[in-house]
Amino acid sequence: MSLRCPRLLPPLLLCLAVPALAAERPAAREQDRAALRLLLENVLERTPMGQARTGLLVQSLEDGAEVFSHRADDLFNPASNVKLFTAAAALHLLGPAHRFETAFLSGAPLKNGRAGVLYVRGRGDPTLTTERLHGVASELFHAGLREVGDITCDDTWFEQDGRPPGFDQEDGDRTYLSPPGALSLNANAVNVYLRGGEVPGRPATVEVEPPAALFEVSAEVRTAPPGVRRLNVLAEPARDAVRLLVRGEAPPGEVVSLSRKVDLPALYTGHAFRRVLEARGIKVKGRVRLGAVPAGAKLLHAAESEPLDAVLRRLNKHSSNFVAEMLLRALSAAAGEQPGTTAGGVRQVEAFLEQEVGLRRGTYVLRNGSGLNDANRFSPRQVLAMLRWVHGRFSTLPEFLASLPVAGRDGTLRSRMEGTAAAGNVRAKTGTLSHVSALAGYLVTAGGEPLAFSFVVNDYEGRAGPVVGALDALCAAVAALGRPGGEGPAREVAGQLRPPAPPLEDAALQERLRIWWGLGRQGAASLPLLRSALRAEEDPAVRVAVADALARQAPDAGRRAVLESLEPSEQVYGRLRRAAAAAGLPVPGLLPLVDAAASGEAAAVERLLQLLSATPAPERLPFSGWLAELAGAAPEALLAQLHPLSPAERRPALEGLAEGLRGKAIPAALASLLERTAAGKDPTRAALAAEVRQRLVGPLSDRAATSPSP
């Protein structure tokens, strides 16, 4: 199919082109495009994109003309836009109907309903869930299985290294870091629920879903006063277990939950399946272990995943790193490389890009399938080449297009570009990392012309919100092209890039804080309102209050919003401190930030130290307790953020830490870390460890240096 033929568009895009395509005079079209170019140049100058590294390319899928281009051949970190390449390669190499199989086998024919060993063999299904395991258990029960000795989990289809390139650039237990594995369950994540009791101060209940013997739970939780919600969960892998350290408080009768990654996927699946079998009435007398299925094993049941087109919707609409890395290893295994590896999957994608799309190896950098961290580099023109290739092949276009988020409708674009010409007419993949924002996909203009585009911004300063708003303004302007009257793009840009409103007066800010504090205590029913307000609120101090309320309903999402909005400036933090004190409320955002820092999130620890320095000395007392909490929960992250500071910059933190630990022994984790670091080869870190130790207790011999681990 010729991309330059204006009358041979694939039927799916024809359906999306509303109003229907109509003949248009080339001169008038070029005039509109020229006006749009001037407008988009103006957007670049007026937004943070102008001071950052920005690459933009918009191209017509009718005549192939470049509608707009800016540094389109430079290489950028595309973040999760890499998932577009993973999806296209998977569709081409595996086919949209491909399904992943998980097999359940017995080492010998069932005898009196008993299997001495039940083997569970994974083939890279990224969609296996506890709910599906219940269906498998029923199938096995009806096949006559009543008793099992051992459960042996076979994950040899993929390599055993669970951390793809890029994942190793950060530590943590967040679910976006969940490792791939040939035998995986629930996207290798576990949910931890904290339920408040009836009386504040009394113990609260901790539950793990799915329940499995793999998890060793250590909990210090209590019932909080109404409206107070704090939950911190640390997941630490051990040899054959995952330790879940749960700390926090929940209001009476309410439930707070968080998800954490599981670093032992196959054992996780086996232990969860054991509980499912027992619940169905099938006894399991042995243990759960790892091992390969022997030759001659008897197949009892084969569970198939959803077809690949449904898997791709999980990949792109929700930007699942887990699905992306599973697909990459599956491509390697499907090509005959057993075990399937990340490197092998990269080779398969590179071969696809060279042979089908025309992108030569070495002109880009591809290290993983998800786009996580500083691992990949592509130019906007290379992204467009792949999008045009997909668009020209009906065998892949419908499934690929259906996997992309729709602006203002669903997925990661559900709350973006609402009320603009782009809403419902843009299908695109987002990309977000620290100081990286990207957006790439397809749109149909108001004049009915289908376009492909790639926008990427690297190395911008400040928070992501203004950059995301600028990208949305670009999309809205391009989508309005061809609207009758000719003023569509300009009107869209004006609506998306309003000048900032003046900050609220003190009394109005106090009232807003009271409103959002109250709404944050109303339970999950207020979630839609909170999410909308976070986008619409113009005063940066009030955005922090909204993010704080959101953190009490959706902890992970709220903490991310707090980290972006709670700036240590007078305009934000200074105004918040004074307004909260006048309103008789806690300073919004601080407790969610402490929870994120206690989980080891480096950016949260860094921000907490910045806020401490921006706090007048008489108001620093709460920070002392928080720093003492970090010393036990996340000492590595605390020490790492202290390291680059000058002695004068780290003094408030060390004084606060010493105050928080006054009369207490140094937490065992911090004491051990200080001892290792002081004896290490890095002289600057060794000096820092000595400074911290001296500030806290003097020489270690002067005082007991450890306390029992919780």
Residue positions counted in the chain: 710
H/E element holding 258?
A: strand 255-261
Q: How many Cβ atoms sit within 10 Å of the Cβ of residue 80?
A: 27
Q: DSSP string covering 267-314, please?
A: HHHHHHHHHHHHHTT-EE-S-EEE-PPPTTPEEEEEEE---HHHHHHH
- Calpha distance 361→354 (Å, rounded): 7
pLDDT > 70 fraction of the chain, expressed in percent and rounded: 93
In tens, the pLDDT along 449-462 reads 999 999 999 999 87
SS3 514: helix
Burial of 702 (0-12, 13-18, 19+ CB in 10 A): exposed
> What is the reported pLDDT for 496?
66
Q: What is the 3-state secondary structure (H, E, C) of 135-189?
A: HHHHHHHHCCCCEEEEEEEECCCECCCCCCCCHHHCCCCCHHHCCCCCCCCHHHE
Q: Which of 38, 24, 9, 19 is nearest to 445 (CA)?
A: 19
| pLDDT bucket at 324, cuts 50 / 70 / 90 | very high
Decide: 264 and 214 in contact? Cβ < 8 Å: yes
Could you tell me how far CA 247 lies from the centroid of its own chain? 23
Q: Does 660 or 350 have the greater pLDDT score? A: 350
Longest dimension (CA), the chain: 87
pLDDT(210) > 60: yes
Number of C-beta neighbours around residue 329 at 10 A: 26
pLDDT digits (tens, 9 = 90+) for 363-386: 999 999 999 999 999 999 999 999
String of DSSP letters for 581-597 = HHHT-PPTTHHHHHHHH
Q: Which residues contact 585 (CB under 8 A, 6 or more apart)?
A: 513, 514, 517
User: What ranges do the domains of the chain cover?
Assistant: 11-95+310-496, 100-305, 503-598, 616-710
At residue 504, φ and ψ (nearest 5 deg) are -65, 150
485 close to 446: Cβ distance less than 8 angstroms: no
Contact (Cβ atoms closer than 8 angstroms) between residue 51 and residue 461? yes
Six token digits for residue 416: 């973006």
Residue 698: the pLDDT is: 54
pLDDT (mean) for 270-282: 97
Q: Would you say residue 598 has pLDDT above 50? A: yes
* pLDDT surpasses 50 at 272: yes
**pLDDT for residue 665 is more than 90:** no
- DSSP letter at 1 equals -
What integer is the mean pLDDT of 658-683? 88
DSSP letters of 301-366?
A: EEEE---HHHHHHHHHHTT-HHHHHHHHHHHHHHTT-SSB-HHHHHHHHHHHIIIII-PPTTSSB-
How many angstroms separate the CA atoms of 122 and 293, rounded? 10
In CATH, what number does 11-95+310-496 get? 3.40.710.10
> Residue 533's pLDDT is what?
82
pLDDT tens-digit readout, 152-181: 999 999 998 878 999 988 878 889 999 999
Helix, coil or strand: residue 81: helix
As a whole number, the mean pLDDT across the chain is 89
Q: What is the DSSP letter of 24?
A: -
Catalytic residue numbers, as ranges: 80, 83, 319
Q: What is the pLDDT, as a whole number, of residue 494? A: 75
Q: Do 154 and 291 form a contact (C-beta atoms < 8 A)?
A: yes
Per-residue model confidence (pLDDT) at position 485 = 62
Mean pLDDT in residue range 70-79? 98
User: What integer is the mean pLDDT of 488-498?
Assistant: 74
Quote the pLDDT of residue 157. 97
C-alpha–C-alpha distance, residues 520 and 389, integer Å: 47
Cα–Cα distances (Å) from 101 to 122, 128, 233, 316, in that order, read 7, 10, 33, 22
Q: Which fold has domain 100-305?
A: D-tyrosyl-trna(Tyr) Deacylase; Chain: A; (3.50.80)
pLDDT of residue 232: 82
For the segment 127-144, the average pLDDT, to the nearest whole number, is 97
Sorted by sequence, the CB contacts under 8 Å of residue 508 that are 6+ apart come out as none
Across 160-169, 209-218, 382-391, least confident range: 160-169
Distances (CA, A) of 613 to 336, 574, 650: 57, 12, 9
CB atoms within 10 A of CB 404: 25
76 vs 463, which has greater pLDDT? 76
Residue closest to 231 by CA, chosen among 559, 603, 519 = 559
The tokens describing 320, both together, are 């699942």
- Residue 710: which pLDDT band, with cuts at 50, 70 and 90? very low
**pLDDT at residue 251 tops 50:** yes
Q: What digits encode the pLDDT tens for the residues 507-548?
A: 999 999 999 988 877 766 677 788 778 877 888 899 999 999
State the average pLDDT over residues 596-601. 84
Q: What global pTM score does this model have?
A: 0.83
3-class DSSP assignment, residue 43:
helix
Predicted local distance difference test score (pLDDT) of residue 602: 84
pLDDT digits (tens, 9 = 90+) for 93-111: 999 999 999 999 999 999 9
Distance CA 710, CA 704 (A): 17
Report which of 198, 369, 185, 389 is spatially closest to residue 288, judged by C-alpha positions: 185
Across 52-78, average pLDDT: 96
Separation CA 473–CA 670 (nearest Å)? 47
pLDDT of residue 487: 63
- From 90, 153, 84, select the one nearest 117 (Cα to Cα): 153
Residue 680: the pLDDT is 86
Look at residue 3 in the predicted model and tell me its pLDDT.
38
- Three-state SS at 115: strand
DSSP sequence for 603-641 = HHHHHHHHHHHTS-GGG-HHHHHHHHHHHHH-HHHHHHH
